[in-house]
A = this chain, B = another copy of it.
Amino acid sequence: MPAKRSKQSDTLRAAQMYYLQDQTMDAIARELRTSRSTVSRLLSAARDSGLVQVQIKTPADLAPELERVIRRRYKVDVHVVPVADTLNEMDVLDRVSMQAARTITPLVDSNAVIGVAWGSTLSAVSRHLTRKTTHGTTIVQLNGAGNTQTSGITYASEIIRRFGTAYGAKVEQFPVPAFFDRAETKRLMWEERSVQRILELQSRVTIAIFGVGSIDAEVPSHVYTGGYLDSTDIDDLEASGVAGDVATVFFRDDGSDEGIMLNERSSGPSLASLRKIRRRICVVSGAKKIKGLRGALAAGLATELILDETTARELVEQESAQSDPIFGFLNSLDGL
């Protein structure tokens, strides 16, 4: 004599029977007096409503060598996403972003303020987020997305909207261009009360999530192709020896950002203010981003790094060959 038959309670019941009691969907269907197909659908609803949570905990002694090396060298909490190195860029992005989404969700608490950048990586991540009910959470856009051609705003707003839906959070867009034409305009805008409100929110971000742009990426980041920059700007970047960007703020190989003029006109948070955020999650997919990634790591922008195995391997090999004799030793020692 089951009490009431709301869909919600059926879902919970099905989930318990399936995941906690190892019943087959068939058996559950009989008990719920419905069809097996419905149970299958209930269960997938339970999964992506966050009712069922699957976690994989990696005992440190079992983590792949690659993770240990990166963690030790860059002092970041790293998650290497296993991928076959025959996969094409798009499939890799898909896998990395899916795993990233599932890795990020457990980190989100109630009352978090989550700063989100935009770009193809973040867009992919946002598509795979699983729901989690939280209270008082806010999503805030880290950098503007307007450009000279299409607005770009729908693109960025779509990303943060998905984050908002997944966590039941309030979302705050940042309705300014990605880059101002004149630094003076930016300075004035930054005095506006509406902008100040967002800046204030940004200063209270507890979790930042971003990808990296790399100047040499074969699949170039949106920033470099989306009409945000003109050819003068790009020449300027190359002249300054820029390696990549995070949230439309640029830096060099060694992590420095002094004297990069374009940053004066960028709407993104300065590297210094980014570094003040407690948790800074960087998602990277594709070995073509390695240059930007190295710069970002040198700048200490990330506290956690989620990246695909191929890129991870390249990151370790490049550096160990070049500039890190000690690592070369460890490397052979650990039989990497």
Contacts and interface: CB of A to CB of B under 8 A. Distances in A.
A259 interface: no
A50 B192 CA distance: 53
A54 B51 contact: no
B52 A53 contact: no
Interface stretch (A6-14, A136-144, A322-330): A6-14
Given A3-B336, A4-B335, A12-B62, A99 B56 contact: no
Nearest to A84: B31
B59 A133 contact: yes
B16 A65 contact: no
Interface stretch (A19-27, A145-153, A205-213, A290-298): A19-27
A241 interface: no
Contacts of A53: 54-57
A99 B8 CA distance: 20
B56 A52 contact: yes
B56 A20 contact: yes
Contacts of A17: 82
B54 A85 contact: no
A98 interface: yes
A146 to B, nearest CB: 34
Given A54-B53, A57-B51, A99 B21 contact: yes
A81 B158 CA distance: 40
Contacts of A55: 52-53, 55
A50 B54 CA distance: 11
A3 B66 contact: yes
B64 A9 contact: yes
Given A21-B98, A31-B84, A81-B16, A9 B54 contact: no
Interface of A: 1, 3-4, 8-9, 12-13, 15-17, 19-23, 31, 46, 50-59, 62, 64-66, 81-82, 84-85, 95, 98-99, 102-103, 133, 313, 335-336
Given A19-B56, A20-B99, A20-B102, 10 more contacts: A1-B313, A3-B66, A3-B336, A13-B82, A21-B81, A21-B95, A52-B54, A53-B54, A53-B57, A54-B54
